[in-house]
Amino acid sequence: MADSRPARQRALALALEAAGLEGLLVQSLPNIRYLTGFTGSAGLLLVRPPDLVLITDFRYAAQAPRETGDTARVEIDPSSIWDRLKRVLGEYPAGRLGFEAHVATVKERGRLDAVAGQQWTGLLEPVEALRLVKDAGEVAAIRAAVAVAQAALGEVLPTVRAGQREIDVAAALERALRLQGSEWHPFQTIVASGPRSALPHARTSERTIRPGDWLLLDFGAQVDGYCADLTRTVLVGGVADARQRAVYEAVREAQRRALDNLRAGMPGREADQLAREVIVRRGFGEAFGHSLGHGLGLEVHEAPRLSPTAEAVIPAGAVVTVEPGIYLPGWGGVRLEDDVYLGADGPVVLSDNRVELLELP
């Protein structure tokens, strides 16, 4: 597959030129990876088109040149990457440079101001704006991560029984994710049972799963740096009662309506409304307190947003989650989440969307 990094760098150069800037300092590690391929844990990337200079430390002296190839010049500093940045900036004429205002700390902002001759302008997510639209390689990586996550779930679900602890299920799932090929866990795995499933972002606990409990599993995988994010809710050790079925079917219908009607070009709030209208009509509107979904890529939460207040239009080429839920304190909750690519010809669900009510023995 063709290397996308040169095209990304050219797109950023055009955006900087349009903003009247000669360059940009990139601190966000996902953004540095997006532009250069560098996967290390420390680095600064100075973009002075047509040059890109990656500054990192001795730990990556061999790794950084191998990963970046000829897409960036690599500078290794044994003591301070910020001191090296000053020296590199001295190679270029003074000018107006941007920095990632959503990333830089107050201390780091002070370091920039200390660089003589440069005028710094804070920019909000200039590289993230490019990352909104996924190319074929990015979609393939997300699809591969989804396949890993689904394989791990398929391995673990048949072993889940009442009497196990949430933490036991989480450990088995995370082990399976690694063995299936996940580079790491893109977020802390959520396994929540019984009344705790009403906590949308519950921390996995030592609670013992009881017969008739909901078991909510929110987990992900990572392949080539790209994330999958899935949620399934199952019933353990029993048969769902009428209320459980009503809640589950409301969430399932809401997700189905969103998946069938979601399109690139609609504002994020309209996408959210597709599912929210179903849940409101079923009488559970107050129990759906979070947004319908979010973008997915090198980070598990990125733009665009699918929320009641999101006015921005969802671009063709975005990958998003679709995850409606109903949460009833003291009783439990249900969430169903799948990952979707929004192409020009309509949505493509990257995950299996196997959301029929599963009652485990």
**pLDDT tens digit sequence for 195-215:** 999 999 999 999 999 999 999
Domain with CATH 3.90.230.10 in the chain: 136-360
Residue pair 344/319 in contact (Cβ under 8 Å)? The answer is no
Distance of CA 192 to the CA centre of its chain: 21
pLDDT (0 to 100) of residue 168: 98
Which of the residue ranges 112-126, 145-159, 207-221 would you say has the lowest mean pLDDT?
A: 112-126
State which amino acid sits at residue 361: P
**Segment 12-33 mean pLDDT:** 98
Residue pair 73/51 in contact (Cβ under 8 Å)? The answer is yes
How many other C-beta atoms are found inside a 10 Å radius of the C-beta of residue 349? 14
Residue pair 201/238 in contact (Cβ under 8 Å)? The answer is no
136-360 maps to CATH 2.40.37.10: no
CATH number for the region 5-131 comes to 3.40.350.10
pLDDT tier at 115, thresholds 50, 70, 90 = confident
**Segment 310-336 mean pLDDT:** 98
pLDDT (0 to 100) of residue 346: 92
Q: How far apart are CA 119 and CA 102, in angstroms?
A: 18
Q: Which long-range contacts (CB under 8 A, 24 or more apart) does 117-126 make?
A: 118/89, 118/94, 119/94, 119/95, 121/19, 121/21, 121/96, 121/97, 122/98, 123/19, 123/24, 123/98, 123/99, 125/100, 125/303, 126/12, 126/15, 126/16, 126/19, 126/24, 126/98, 126/100
- Which residue, among 304, 224, 222, 235, has the nearest Cα to 263 in the 3D structure? 304
State which amino acid sits at residue 2: A
Cis amide leading into 304 (omega within 30): yes
116 pLDDT more than 80: no
Domain with CATH 3.40.350.10 in the chain: 5-131
The helix (run of H) or strand (run of E) holding residue 228 is strand 226-236
pLDDT (0 to 100) of residue 190: 98
